[in-house]
Structure 1
């Protein structure tokens, strides 16, 4: 009898607690936000928050980190860390081996030319008489969370993205977005592609008529605070800091003078004023596109920059970098304040993350901290490899193309050769590259095609390799090493840690220290928005956000 009572009690308790959990879960799910606002920062190291904390204002980064759920251990697993692959991974929930964006550029064997990942001459620039809008997301082979939101709301959800770089803007928007906008360095305007926009909105024309780039490029970039108060960074005249054109590395920066040297607005993209333009454009867009005006969740992404292509010329410890983040802190604070005022904090889900991190310059780490690192001279390595192949197999153009971390062999020449097969030459070249001091590991393509769930130093290579887009061998450099060229400058990082914070929409303030990946953003947002997790998604839901 007692046993029966116990069983009944246990069953009742289980049903009761299950019902309570289900009700709690249902209540939470019913609180879908009116608007999701993604704040993505290119080249952002997580430790910038700790380093610059005392100088931040209350309403920007401090507000997000004090009131949000902070995921403190998040990695972006890529072979080549770049904002194109990073954004694609963040918004699809899969890695380049599936979504196909192996890098910003890759070699197309059929065209015998390097292509840019968003380039598409079938579509035209909307908003300027340039080719900067001849682009589309056609090379992105996976759907984004914004695509899924569009599909599952029968197109009712409004989806927009805004960025300085078109790759970031396009991959955040996805295939089905209402529009993606980015900055055109040739015209100085915010533009789009006919893939998204057939008729350019009047409000964007009006915005462009304000001539942000031209107006603010004529204003000298000066520090937000007195230079003496920037104790968290190096002196402005630090001798190893390369600066603009390997020449200008101290404040004030006459951006208009730099623009005259480049003959376009690229230097403007490296300044705080460019981030201010992105903030203002985003708010203007939310006003004019009726964002959040109905019961269907809308999705807006704003992508800011950390000095853009000049990131490596100054580095994480520079005064310029710190000043950029102090300005950005203000702009993010203004964005949050305006959005919360318009929709109410409980109706907006913010997330802050990055699509790339940043490395310290080689010279800085070598000279200041005696680290055993250097540049891997790519051109010299290829020249030595070419000589070796010619001596071993005969004088032919065995190497068709190479980039920072991969190499493409000429398959046509190899097929006609009686001396060597494709996989044999892949092994030979991979073993040769492995001999260089700065190389951690090199892998031939045929081994990557066999598939593996390898972790550690091989994981980024396996998760990035995509047949017909990746090279015949891929290699990683040792920690701290960077590719170097005689006349070419690259913005390279081997750092994979990125920030990830969720804020607003009844998010509980907490620190989540468990190990997570950038691919976890999509399934987590999907759960919050009550839409199915994509079938091919490689990420996992961050459960701590949903159970507290």
Structure 2
């Protein structure tokens, strides 16, 4: 009798293990890459008790969270972040070195996704003259397309064009962004790079969208404003007002504020912009029938309103806290939709951010914490005085931007000077400017290997073909902007520490405090899908997150 029971138990365990292995071996029908623009890691912990069960807490409880994940390059800007997440590498390889940068070949400032070879699809404006042409490596979705012989669909969407285009790379079936640049514009559009006309589902969404309804509402706090104890007082001097409003306080009557804040453009700067993005993501999943075929589809969703709100009000604002409490509800709604439309065991998602942000420096100064504002005009004057003093010329500088100096090589040669000597002298002298902490020449970055620390981040962000001749790092908590609101871009922890959470098919439950880099997401998802990593990948597979 005991032998029979033992035999039955062994058979049961054998088939249970086979069933479990079969489920684990089954590839997801849909991968969803979620990027939250300007989300600090501590927003997960700071507001944890106020989040519901179905949004952030659902994927934290049932997914795998990296608690010590960072960006490993400078600059931490939106375009660079989105490119790095999905290519698995840094600007020295993928070529996106900022949102805007000085092109030393064209001798002009360029925007990361501008491309005059293409036209807008969706209206008669110019916002669709875009493409991923400046991205020089493949993305996860490119590799998924190649692995499936161009079967399956890859779709990117965001209010921001760069946040829709760069994640889905070169082979996307579509990338869509929101156009409200003129008062009468209120459409999701794309570029002729992808298609000749909008799909019916996009045209239908534009015809029936809820942007107008959202902007006729009042933004008040989700809960009693007195319960927002994680934030500064509502009325303070560190936040920038909306046009037409005397103080940066609640309530914000959007219907009354629209006319003075770009009409439909206002939706970008309120939490409803995130809700609106979820609306469009749902329409994309239904309209493209994502997750419904034998092939794996890929959807990238980037939430931009968090960034616009963060810039205006700062890290510790009631507006920021309320935005994340509302985003938590939007995510719960989206996850529930995925369960129903795609199936609970049929999708894998990851959630991360393209950068974080610093506390408003003026606020830090009020607390006697070291923080600074840098005057760009004063800085340029200082640099020209250096070249005049040592080389008797103020014509040796072609451009100063993104904490980089581009030399005028033709002028330097005409004066019989050595470009490396000019760059080295600038690097030595520029640190005498009161807001610059470190400086290094491009030549040094080409000949020296910095293995860790902030100089390693600077090196990872340096692209030999596109970057400047002298690169600088300001003191921590230094911004070039007005004293209200905040920004990002540095290699310091406040800008680099972001959430990375994996969830769904093929993902373990758990967390890790080991240090990982943003570039580790792409090879990890590639490994899960059993495909090649993007062709420039320099990250590693996060083995402990995978079943």
TM-score over 0.5 for the alignment? Answer: yes
Q: Using the alignment, how far apart are the partners of 2:504 and 2:442 within structure 1?
A: 45
Q: Is the 8 A contact 2:315 2:359 kept in 1?
A: yes
Match of 1:171 in 2: 166
Distance 1:27 1:512, change over 3 A: farther
SS at match of 2:113: coil
Whether contact under 8 Å (1:378, 1:484) holds in the other structure is no
2:12 alignment partner in structure 1:
none
Dislocated runs of 4+, deviation >6 Å: 22-26
Q: Specify the alignment match of 1:154 in structure 2.
A: 149
Aligned to 1:504: 504
In structure 2, the residue corresponding to 1:349 is in which secondary structure?
strand
**Distance change in 2, residues 1:74/1:116 (3 Å):** same
Decide whether the 8 Å contact of 2:39 with 2:306 is kept in 1. no
1:402-453 superposed Cα distances (whole Å, 9 cap, x missing partner): 12311212112111113x2111111122222212233221111122222524
For 2:100, the equivalent position in structure 1 comes to 105
User: Alignment partner of 2:532: what SS?
Assistant: coil
- Match of residue 202, structure 1, among 190, 200, 203: 200
Say if 1:489 and 1:266 are closer, same or farther in 2 by CA, change over 3 A. Answer: farther
Deviations 1:498-518 (A, max 9, x none): 100111115222111211100
Which sits farther off after the overlay, 299-308 or 422-431?
299-308
C-alpha separation in 2, matches of 1:451 and 1:88: 25
Structure 1 unmatched runs, 5+: 1-21
Unaligned runs of 5+ in 2: 1-16
How far apart, in 2, do the equivalents of 1:95 and 1:197 lie?
29
Match of 2:58 among 56, 59, 63: 63
Structure 1 residue 118: Cα displacement: 0.3
Change in CA separation of 1:92 and 1:80 when aligned onto 2, cut-off 3 Å: same
Match of 2:115 among 114, 117, 120: 120
Deviations 1:71-111 (A, max 9, x none): 11111122111110001000001100000000001111232
Which residue, 206, 212, 215 being the options, matches 1:214? Answer: 212
Task: Determine the structure 2 residue equivalent to 1:545.
Answer: 545
Displacement, 1:395?
Answer: 4.0
The equivalent of 2:35 in structure 1 is 40
- Further displaced range: 488-497 or 142-151: 488-497
Given that residues 375 and 481 in structure 1 are in contact (C-alpha distance below 8 angstroms), is that contact kept between their aligned partners in structure 2? yes
CA contact (8 A) 1:97 1:463 kept: yes
Following superposition, the deviation at residue 466 of structure 1 comes to: 1.0
Distance 1:319 1:171 in 2: 31
| Structure 1 residues 480 and 337, CA gap change in structure 2 (3 angstroms) | same
Contact 2:87 2:536 in 1 (8 A): no
1:291-314 deviation line (CA, Å, top 9, x unaligned): 111121111111112533342331
| Displacement after TM superposition at 1:247 (Å) | 5.3
- Report if aligned partners of 1:315, 1:361 keep a CA contact under 8 Å in 2: yes
- Match among 361, 364, 381 for residue 383 of structure 1: 381
Conserved 8 A contact 2:386-2:426: no
2:3: which partner in 1? Answer: none
- 8 Å contact from structure 2 (residues 361, 373) kept in 1: yes
Of 488, 512, 533, the residue aligned with 1:492 is 488
Distance 1:421 1:254, change over 3 A: farther
Deviations 1:183-222 (A, max 9, x none): 1132221111111122211211111122433332232222
d(CA) in 1 for partners of 2:429, 2:212: 50
Distance 1:536 1:219 in 2: 46
What SS class does the counterpart of residue 537 from structure 1 fall into?
coil
Output one character per residue of 1:301-336: Cα deviation in whole Å (capped at 9) or x when no partner. 111125333423311110000111111111111110
Change (3 A) 1:24 1:380: farther
Cα displacement string for residues 42-98 of structure 1 (whole angstroms, at most 9, x for unaligned residues): 000111111111221211111111111111111112211111000100000110000
Structure 1 residue 446 corresponds to structure 2 residue 443? yes
Residue 362 of structure 1, CA deviation: 0.2
How far does the alpha carbon of each residue in 1:248-307 deviate from its partner, in whole angstroms, 9 at most, with x for none?
411122345554335464332011111111101000111111111112111111111253
Residue in 1 that maps onto 2:524: 524
Q: Aligned equivalents of 2:256 and 2:455: distance in 1?
A: 45
Question: What is the CA–CA distance in structure 2 between the aligned matches of 1:121 and 1:264, rounded to whole Å?
Answer: 27
Aligned residue among 409, 413, 418 for 2:407: 409
Confirm or deny that 1:363 pairs with 2:358.
no
2:191 alignment counterpart: 193
Shift of 1:23: 8.7
Matches within 5 A, 1:327-342: 327-342=326-341
For the residue of structure 2 that corresponds to 1:448, the secondary structure is helix
Residues 221 and 252 of structure 1 are in contact (CA less than 8 Å); yes or no, is this contact kept in structure 2?
A: yes
SS in 2 for 1:526: helix
- What SS does the corresponding residue of 2:507 show, helix, strand or coil? coil
Q: Answer yes or no: is the 8 Å Cα contact 2:396–2:408 preserved in 1.
A: yes
**1:111 counterpart SS class:** coil
**Partner residue in 1 for 2:252:** 253
Give the whole-Å Cα distance in 1 for the aligned partners of 2:475 and 2:75.
13
Aligned to 2:136: 141
2:483 matches 1:478: no
- 8 Å CA contact retained: 2:315, 2:486: no
- Answer whether contact 1:77 1:460 (CA < 8 A) is retained: yes
Instruction: After TM superposition, give the deviation of residue 351 of structure 1 in Å.
Output: 0.9
Q: Is the 8 A contact 2:309 2:319 kept in 1?
A: no
> Is the alpha carbon distance of 1:125 and 1:489 closer, same or farther for their aligned partners in structure 2, counting shifts above 3 Å?
farther
**Normalised TM-score (structure 1):** 0.91
Q: Measured at CA, do residues 347 and 472 of structure 1 come closer, stay the same or move farther in structure 2, by a change above 3 Å?
A: same
SS at match of 1:327: helix
Q: Cα distance 1:240–1:356, how it changes in 2: closer, same or farther (>3 A)?
A: same
Distance, in Å, in 1 between the alignment partners of 2:447 and 2:264 is 45
The SS at the match of 1:72 is strand
8 A Cα contact 1:377 1:485, kept in partner = no
- Distance, in Å, in 2 between the alignment partners of 1:359 and 1:320 is 16
- Inter-partner Cα distance in structure 2 for 1:31 and 1:491: 42
TM-score, normalising length: structure 2: 0.91
* Alignment partner, residue 420 of structure 2: 423
